[in-house]
Amino acid sequence: MWVDTINGAEPAANTPTTTESGFPINGWSLDDAVEDAPQAVYLQFGDQYYQLHQTDRGDVCEYYFGNRNNPMCSFTENLSLENFTAGDYKASLVIIFEGGTSYYRFELADVTVSTP
C-alpha cells in the first residue's frame, strides 16, 4: 500500500495536519501475497467510514509488482469537511482484500479541522 498524497503533501505516518474545507487523499494498494487489487478501500475519519473511489492504475501494478492483471489498485477521494465541527480527528485507511476475508488498517494522521 502506498499513499501518494494527503492534503496535497507527501505523507509521513501519524504526522498532524490541519485543514479547513477538505481532506484529499490518493494512493494505491495491491495485496502482493495474492496479487490482487483491493475489493474496497475506506477512509475512517473520526468514527465515520467513507468508501474511496478506485481507479485503473495498471501502470503502477505492472511497474512495482510486474502484474497488470488487476489494474483497479488506485484510490482517490477529497472528503468534504463542511459538516464536521472544528476539532481533532484520527484518519486511517482500511483496505479490504479477498472478498472481505482479509483487511489491512493503516493509521494516516491526526487531523485538526478548523473553521474558515
Three state DSSP letters for 8-58: CECCCCCCCEEECCEEEEEEECCECCCCECCCEEEEEECCEEEECEEECCH
Number of domains in the chain: 1
The predicted structure's pLDDT at residue 39: 87
Distance CA 75, CA 106 (A): 14
Count of Cβ atoms closer than 10 Å to residue 108 Cβ: 24
Give the pairing of strands 87-97 and 74-80.
unpaired
Q: For 64-112, how does the pLDDT look when each residue is reduced to its tens digit (9 = 90+)?
A: 777 666 777 888 899 998 888 999 999 999 999 877 678 888 888 888 8
Per-chain mean pLDDT for the chain:
81
CATH number of residue 23's parent domain: 2.60.40.10
Where in the sequence is the domain holding 73, given as residue range(s)?
2-113
